[in-house]
Structure 1
Amino acid sequence: MKVSLSQCCFIDCQLYQFHYINKEKTWTEAQQYCRENHTDLATVTNMKDMKRLINISSGYQRGAWIGLNSKAEFTRTWHWSLPELEFSESETNWVKREPNDKRNQGSENCGILNKNMSWEDTSLFFAVDNVILVKEKMNWEDALYYCRDHHHDLVTITNMDDQRWIQEKVKKASTDHVWMGLRYTCTLDFWFWVSDEVVIYQNWADGEPTDDCDMSGAMETGGRHQWRKKNDLEEFNFLCTKD
């Protein structure tokens, strides 16, 4: 996938009418929205459908969700979100070497339609344009409240796709690290995301983290963009998620 930060939108259909929904959502949120407001995420079974979708969504920046996903627990089998609609490999239009399922270590299980009508697999959490880099210098707590007062929350990184997209954005920071929503609790002795997500994916630098009180997680804005524990009172730029 193209390593850039771009708007993540999706497309849905009702009675073979396609609607372009200019909202930033994860694949699961997009599916729920379509099922509640229309019929389902778009099913793309031929080149004519793809051309129609591209025509109605000509203003989007990169790619849009379609109703294509797979279950990775056992065998990699792709299917359409619309119930009882059979998926056919002969109708696919994957980018060369896709679906590869490599960047996200086994969980690139949702499909997007690119502007050139090709398909890619990616994580269902892909909604990176939902992230804002704030170039003010603040300590971790002030950054947290700033995000909650002006946007939504400090950023959460749950997979390698999130990491790859976000590390492109942090290159524009004015500090050598940026705060994330990652915090250590002395009382319970573990790291956690302030969004209540479990810390599964990790990108700590070698030797990190040693568990100390009053520490939070920050990403390097250069080099390998790894995570480091930093004292809460240090002041960095930070990443917020939108509402």
Structure 2
Amino acid sequence: TQIFNSISSVLGQCDFITCQLYEYHFIKEQMSWDEARAYCRENYTDLAKVFDLKDMRRLQDSAQNQTEAWIGLYNITGGANRRWHWSLPGEEYTENKSCWEDGEPNDYGGIPENCVMTKDKCVDVPCTNTNQFICYNETMKNNKTFHLNDKENKTWEEALNYCREKHHDLVSISNPEEQRWVQERAKNASTPFVWLGLRYSCTLDLWFWINDNRVCYERWASGGRNEDCDMSAAMTTGGQHEWVSQKKNETFNFICIKH
């Protein structure tokens, strides 16, 4: 309850704008980059991805002149030949010097500065610094927002009931884009698999999504589909994030659709 109330109070401090197909939320709470990313992934899609300089100006406007804020750009390599990536979907940042402040990125004072915040442009700073931050949602582009429960292991039916009680439903995947977003969530799981909302029906002799959608897109691992009566589908949390059959009384983390 204490944590929930804390999160609620933070949410109450958000400023909201709509930018193209993305919703941006400015959060006034001070957090490290890792803490900010965890918060954004829990409540939205991720730390903000800046799509162009127009986005940068819109983000500055949304921050109400509080111009120092984390965005989802970080370095994963270190050393002289640093490469920058967006937090989600993990794609590499296409180097664009016009987005950086003059002289940035620079590891000022020889201290590793592997995370990025906005001022008028991008500045690299130590990831342990605390700043306000900007989250974004893709809900206008993709009507699903995904939530990974990595704190509890449940059977398939327990996961289904939990998602329907606490959120909307156990996750379904209908296209490669949704697969990509779900697998990014799955990377943070604490179990080797996460449950999907896909099960096998002996009566109908077919796989079906529990939201009654047809299985139009598939990502089965080679030899991973076992059509026994007590089977449901799970995604591997490492490797290629393919689907495999698992007995529904096994216990794993799971991913819910939030709305």
Give the TM-score normalised by structure 1: 0.52
Partner of 1:110: none
Q: Name the count of aligned residue pairs.
A: 158
Partner of 2:58: 53
Partner of 2:160: 144
Check whether the contact 1:159–1:201 (CA below 8 A) recurs between aligned residues: yes
Alpha-carbon distance in 2 for matches of 1:60, 1:10: 17
C-alpha offsets along residues 151-198 of structure 1, whole Å, 9 cap, x if unaligned?
A: 111111111122222212212212111101011111111111112222
Partner of 1:77: none
Partner of 2:223: 207
In structure 2, which of residues 187, 201, 206 is the aligned counterpart of residue 190 of structure 1?
A: 206
- 1:60 Cα deviation from its structure 2 partner: 9.5
In structure 2, which of residues 176, 194, 200 is the aligned counterpart of residue 160 of structure 1?
A: 176
User: Is the aligned partner of 1:126 residue 2:142?
Assistant: yes
Give secondary structure in 1 for the equivalent of 2:187. helix
Check whether the contact 1:132–1:242 (CA below 8 A) recurs between aligned residues: no
Check whether the contact 1:174–1:237 (CA below 8 A) recurs between aligned residues: yes
In structure 1, which of residues 6, 11, 26 is the aligned counterpart of residue 18 of structure 2?
A: 11
- 1:134 Cα deviation from its structure 2 partner: 3.7
**Identity, % of aligned pairs?**
42
Tell me the C-alpha RMSD between the 2 structures.
3.9
- 1:199 Cα deviation from its structure 2 partner: 1.1
- 1:127 Cα deviation from its structure 2 partner: 5.5
Check whether the contact 1:24–1:127 (CA below 8 A) recurs between aligned residues: no
Alpha-carbon distance in 2 for matches of 1:193, 1:10: 34
For 1:26-175, what aligned pairs fall within 5 Å after superposition? 53-58=58-63, 126=142, 129-175=145-191
Alpha-carbon distance in 2 for matches of 1:183, 1:145: 14
Check whether the contact 1:219–1:227 (CA below 8 A) recurs between aligned residues: yes
Partner of 1:235: 251
Question: Which segments of 5 or more consecutive residues in structure 2 lack a partner in the other structure?
Answer: 1-15, 26-42, 46-52, 64-68, 73-92, 95-117, 122-137
Check whether the contact 2:233–2:244 (CA below 8 A) recurs between aligned residues: yes
Alpha-carbon distance in 2 for matches of 1:24, 1:194: 24
Check whether the contact 2:144–2:258 (CA below 8 A) recurs between aligned residues: no
Partner of 2:194: 178
The amino acid that maps onto 2:232 is S
The amino acid that maps onto 2:181 is W
Alpha-carbon distance in 2 for matches of 1:162, 1:206: 21
Question: Which segments of 5 or more consecutive residues in structure 1 lack a partner in the other structure?
Answer: 1-8, 14-19, 26-46, 63-94, 97-114, 117-121
Give the TM-score normalised by structure 2: 0.49
- 1:124 Cα deviation from its structure 2 partner: 7.5
Check whether the contact 1:180–1:218 (CA below 8 A) recurs between aligned residues: yes
